[in-house]
Structure 1
Amino acid sequence: MSVSAFDGLDDNSFFDRVKAKFTEKAPDLSKTLNIAIIGKVSSGKSSLINALLQHSRRQGLEMAKVGAISGVTKDLTILKLDEKVCLIDSPGLDDIRAENSKVTRNFLKHIDVGVFVVTGSSDASQKKNLDDLRKHCDSIFVVLNKIDEWDDLDSTVLDEVINQWKNDLKVDKIYPTCAKGYDPKSRLPKMDIRGVYQLRKDIEEFLEKKGKDLLLARHMAEKKSYAVGIIAGALVAVAAEAFIPGSAVYITATQAVAIGSLYYLYKGQILPKTAAIAILPTFLSQTVGSNLFLVVKSFLPPTGIVDAAAAGVAVVITLAMLATVNSILSEGGKLEQEELLQSKFKTYHKQAKTLFKDLALTDINDFQSLTGIVTKFLS
């Protein structure tokens, strides 16, 4: 749909606009904002989803399956609400981990909003399950569903139950809800939906205020993993090139290509090779002695010890250079900012020299080792 989940919510709210579509092929959850409905079997999660989506009884059956028998939802049920938001009906977290499929592992890594559903009298053991969910996401709405079971008692009883849940779960707010009537065998003449409006409203406000930031953070984290690969690959290349006669030319070319790759990663545009090479003097002016050594060495025949030293120098300079470029581009900066480039490069160069001081040549020739090193260096 053309309207984004993150546009103004005004009169036409997000849940009013969505046209949820069940998807059998799991979408790339790293590129969507994911709302997970988590709770014990038969806690009414599927009915709650149908109520959140404001479906009628017939429409609801087409979305989240509802039944009186435990375990109707045995796997993840993924509903695409729009191009940016997925709502996921799931069994408990223990069941998710027990399945241990690629889809469920991906799901656990990418829960943005958790809707934790409980029912009945307070169960202190649920605190462990809630804490478990907190390990996967920071934003959680706790729901006490099926409040209709307290209808025949004094109205104060429900308040007492809610307060007990708050105490046992150590939460400040609980949403009391009822989403009754979605079971295909229900004899209720009409639906009994209570408390869902406020939950829906608060989820919408969360999407509006924090949704963009969450997606951006995930997007940048994904780009960072690619950036690490680009940088580690360049370090392996320059370490090997240091042993080749005329190595300075090859090292410069590798650095320019890596800068161009990082530029494309963050900007989505191709940086001309001449533009990438034009940036190099900004860095090299900060390490005149080291670069002079590399240039002189590149015209000498292979000597073993000197070559190893040159490899170390090339790796240090290249790491500092590419870390600088990565930092500026990931923060939305421009590579034309010469003073910023020099300032960041000085800091990274000092850190890189310290980092590689005690590393063996085998460490800087191994891509996997360098990947771990670069990941920590950029964090």
Structure 2
Amino acid sequence: MDNSDTTGFDEKSFFDRVAAQFIERAPDLSKSLNIAIIGKVSSGKSSLINALLKRSRRQALELAKVGAISGITKNLTILKLDDKVYLIDSPGLDDVRAENSEITKKFLKHIDIGIFVVTGSSDASQKKNLDDLRQHCDSIFIVLNKIDEWDDLDPKVLNDIIDQWKNDLKIDKIYPTCTKGYDPKSRIPKMDIRGVYQLRSDIEEFLEKKGKDLLLVRHMTEKQSYAVKIIATALVAVGGEAFIPGSAVYITATQGAAIASLYYLYTGKILSPHAALGILPTFLAESTGSSLFLFAKSFLPPTGILDIAASSIAITITLALLATVNHILSSGASIEEEELLRSKFRTYRTQTEETFRELGCTDIRDLPEWSALVAKFLKNP
């Protein structure tokens, strides 16, 4: 069958180009992620892991059961979050070496992140363990845990303790944290979590540069904040891509890649280019006029006002589309349910039009900060 028409459009060539751009934009989920949590026994490493993964006290019980490899050594715990993500909780790398299994041998060959946990007053002898860890890691985050020990003293005392640790370990940055309350027998009514947000944020930023952030964040109990990031990033991209000749290729690929990222975030499964892009026609059928305009505009030279209109349409359609996918996946439904996709998309499409009308922006580039806009939008389906 001839895929070209009288206008010269070659359907097969178009989708081949989309698939190529999708591969460039989609996350590489074939990678692995190894994280070492190193620190003395009773330094609160397990609680720190739970806090980083945004676990509740009830969910903390599950962390030790799901994927845990027990009975290795007294002080070593290996948490296999999935086939690609391993966390090792140990007093030091010597304990990992002593275990000498195939898992730990492979782990020691490459550790993406080392989280070095200390507590109490500074101990210069810890520098040896830190230097050992540094030789195996791409990046190290040093944590002074259990800062609640200093709550009853003058704040200057904690500042002095932090400075002493920095001096003895020869480091520039340390994260003061408290991760109290994960013990299910704890009598404190509320968990006391401090300093973990900045640590988690910096770890995610580092992993994002390596293309491995999605591997970790999919294991976090609360996923909405990262879904917001995926959607906001896609909106910024399509808003700019609308100004590029042949923009339909790039916009379609960006939408497909964002769908694949959301799918992995919620399911832990990899969506093929064919499957991710195959969802888009369902949405196109609900926005025929706008989609046709975007498609036709993509083959025209830059024209100022039309480019701004195309950018606005690309952003509103993409926001409604990705909000729909996020809603369905976060509720545990299947994105293969076409009628559900259509119904939710119609709802979100109306909402996007109302949102941008309320903002009163004639130029989409004048919109406020994207993440805040998307977060607010997702709260009101």
After TM superposition, the score normalised by the length of structure 2 is: 0.48
Q: Which has the higher contact order (CA 8 A, sep 6+)?
A: 2
After TM superposition, the score normalised by the length of structure 1 is: 0.48
